[in-house]
Structure 1
Amino acid sequence: MDARHHTLPCTSLGSTRTLTSLHYGVAAARPKVYIQASLHADELPGMLVAHHLRERLMKAERSGQVLGQVVLVPVANPIGLAQRIDHRPMGRFELNTSENFNRSYPDLAQVAFERVGRELGSDLDKNVAMVRAAVLDWLSEQTPLTELEGLRLTLYRLAADADVVLDLHCDAEAVLHLYSETACWPPLEPLACWLGAQTVLVADYGAGGQPFDEQLSGLWSQLAARLAAHGIEVPLPQACASATVELRGEADVGHAWAERDADAIWRYLQHLGVIAGDPGPVPEPRFVPTPLAGSETLKAPCPGVIAFHAEVGTVLSPGALVAEIIDPLSGQTALLRTAQGGVLYARTRERYAPAGLTVAKVAGHRPVRTGNLLSE
């Protein structure tokens, strides 16, 4: 294992943080898989999964079983991890800027198009190598000013040339589910099956906000689109499959879950040929992929106490009651029902709702939303 410590820019006098990446295998080996945990720093299940993966990877490397390359970042956000206010973690947004740690990543497709778009030729493998080199060169040339800029840039320098990227998150209260760009879904399906995902949400590029995973896979889907728009016909594969893996809820942190999830990811690494060994048969899926635009968001129409009627993982019929919002002052109750039905895959951990709070999310099969499809 090669442990590397990346110093982030100093935003304030006397405070400096580092990001640590763990590297297994040979640097030039393929496939390359990049795995990071807790970019939203208050979402902790991924850190424990990374701990179990680290132990397995160290043993595999010692026995010569790492055939490709794995980069593991167990703590992807040391900035957010240190943010606490009144004993509560505040790891989703940087307090200095109010920016979401998982938004505003660079448009690598535009970078690649400007640098090598007109130099690509008929050799598919050469095209992939040229695009990756161009992007890594551009990233190496950037000079971050702030700590947040440095974090984003460091993570991208580690991940930009990966064949597969897994960004480990969690929701508030949730079943295990995945988000993926449509172009990435086929190579990711075995992972979802081994993980036992109950919901998979897919969308074409442009779900909103330029999140970490989408900008990495979008390098390839959007570069292909730009080339086609300019009449440049060259072979270019979807050379990166990326996914946000939501490891259930914030409180689902324990060795039993983490060992199970690490084993699923391990089998997927074997399936990809990164790790030696037989992963065994791919389990039958517990999900039917649904459009991210079909995710129905149920919001509180008024303030009140939340009383849930449906647990996460429940398959709901159209019109099913999900929760009540109760005003104990007036005695009035607002009923939250799903319009189209589907899997109740996530709900808030809060039990008091200010008006407008996102109370629950239901994965439906019919698109019902447009525009920015991701939460803030």
Structure 2
Amino acid sequence: MSPGTERSLFVLRFGDQGARPKAYFQASLHADELPAMLVLNHLAERLGRAAGEGAIRGEVVVVPVANPIGLAQFVQGRAMGRFALSGAGNFNRHFPDLTAALDGDFATRLGGDAAANVSAVRAAMREALDAMQPADEVGSLRHALLGLAFDADIALDLHCDSEAVLHLYLGTPSWPDAADLSAQIGSQATLLATVSGGHPFDEAVGGPWWALAERYFGHPIPPACLSGTVEYRGRSDVSEAMAAADADNLFRFLQRRGVVNGDSGPLPVPRCEATPLDGVDMIRSPVAGVIAHAREPGEKVAAGDVVAVIVDPLNPDFSAARTALASRCDGIIFGRTQDRLARPGKIVCKVAGEKSLPDRHAGALLSD
């Protein structure tokens, strides 16, 4: 950070600190993904009214702008909020690994009571966080966000894609427990993985519970945090009406989970079945050129269907100038690039298939 520069996180709290269940929401860790900010603005208004009525049973923590560093990054008038211009990489990667910190003699703090073990794990996580000394500004941001969320029962990281339908990333161990979340928010593609790669925020919060349960299998350690990443459609899908509806769904989810008192109403019919993240076909362009999309987000396609064409504007042969990109699987197009210029290797379209693809491997399942 430059001399004279200071940044802070704006944190809203509803209910009593330490009350259970605790829910945590943050928006726009990728700072140029703005739909999530508006969703949390609407959710905070609803939570404020509920708090005034004494209806918050647990605790809700809301960080409406999770990345003040990225929010300040502009290059030639364009917001650049996904990667740190300092060279620290993708803001949603490389969060502290609390699992690694809970090693050594930690097993001596566990017993046969699941609730007591949850308390022991959270206390050890707090100690590990307190002992960390981030080396730079981005590391300090990651540390601060994890410090707000590590002990939550529910932790949701709100983002958006380039052009997309609403979709959801969850840890495989969270399914089917999180099926109500997927249905309530109207997810059209719910993607499951235990280790997606790069240690993003949601896995930094929820992942330790799955790993510790496996490591210390002789002691009952439940998956005490439901963590996930919600992708609120595409970058341009910003409106008061959509944000209000999305906030209503999050509020009803909190009611259903007992964080907020009140009738959540009937659970909506799910719009999708959960599918493996390693079943997603990341359709890349092998050539440079202009992208002409052939199918829309939300459409179902079959293996072999053309989803886009890349046109070389310098090739005078009309037919030879065109390279068709086809899906390798049956599934739904849940996202595609907003850019219309392709370079070799660029991800043009994403299709959620039901079966794992042979070249998709745990630990390398996310885009850059």
| TM-score class normalised by the smaller sequence | over 0.9
Question: 2:25 aligned with 1:66, yes or no?
Answer: no
Distance 1:321 1:191, change over 3 A: same
* Equivalent residue runs for 1:80-229 within 5 Å: 80-114=70-104, 116-204=106-194, 206-228=195-217
For 1:266, the equivalent position in structure 2 comes to: 251
Cα offsets for 1:197-253 (capped at 9, x unmatched): 11100012x21000000121111000112223xxxx111100011010000000001
Amino acid at match of 1:124: A
Deviates more, 1:185-194 or 1:356-365: 185-194
In 1, Cα distance between the equivalents of 2:209 and 2:300? Answer: 35
The percentage of counterpart residues that share the same residue type is 48
TM superposition score normalised by structure 1: 0.94
In 2, Cα distance between the equivalents of 1:115 and 1:345? Answer: 45
May I ask how many residue pairs the two structures share in their alignment?
A: 361
Amino acid at match of 1:253: V
Q: Do 2:281 and 2:352's aligned partners in 1 also have CA atoms closer than 8 Å?
A: yes
For 2:222, the equivalent position in structure 1 comes to: 237
TM-fit CA distance, 1:110:
2.2
For 1:314, the equivalent position in structure 2 comes to: 299
Cα offsets for 1:294-341 (capped at 9, x unmatched): 000111111111111100000001111100000121141000010112
TM-fit CA distance, 1:138:
1.6
The runs of 5 or more residues in structure 2 that have no matched partner are none
TM-fit CA distance, 1:141:
2.5
Question: 2:8 aligned with 1:21, yes or no?
Answer: no
In 2, Cα distance between the equivalents of 1:370 and 1:182? Answer: 14
TM-fit CA distance, 1:185:
2.4
SS class of match (2:233):
strand
Q: Do 1:325 and 1:335's aligned partners in 2 also have CA atoms closer than 8 Å?
A: yes
Q: Do 2:88 and 2:138's aligned partners in 1 also have CA atoms closer than 8 Å?
A: no
Question: 2:355 aligned with 1:370, yes or no?
Answer: no
Question: 2:267 aligned with 1:278, yes or no?
Answer: no
For 2:334, the equivalent position in structure 1 comes to: 345
In 1, Cα distance between the equivalents of 2:185 and 2:22? Answer: 20
For 2:239, the equivalent position in structure 1 comes to: 254
Q: Do 2:15 and 2:60's aligned partners in 1 also have CA atoms closer than 8 Å?
A: yes
Q: Do 1:185 and 1:241's aligned partners in 2 also have CA atoms closer than 8 Å?
A: no
In 2, Cα distance between the equivalents of 1:295 and 1:90? Answer: 26
Q: Do 1:170 and 1:247's aligned partners in 2 also have CA atoms closer than 8 Å?
A: yes
In 1, Cα distance between the equivalents of 2:267 and 2:75? Answer: 44
Amino acid at match of 1:303: A
Q: Do 2:29 and 2:65's aligned partners in 1 also have CA atoms closer than 8 Å?
A: yes
In 2, Cα distance between the equivalents of 1:26 and 1:198? Answer: 34
Q: Do 1:81 and 1:89's aligned partners in 2 also have CA atoms closer than 8 Å?
A: yes
For 1:335, the equivalent position in structure 2 comes to: 324
For 1:299, the equivalent position in structure 2 comes to: 284
In 2, Cα distance between the equivalents of 1:355 and 1:143? Answer: 40
The runs of 5 or more residues in structure 1 that have no matched partner are 1-10
Q: CA RMSD in A?
A: 1.1
SS class of match (1:116):
helix
User: Which of 30, 41, 44 pairs up with 2:31?
Assistant: 41
Amino acid at match of 2:237: D
TM superposition score normalised by structure 2: 0.96
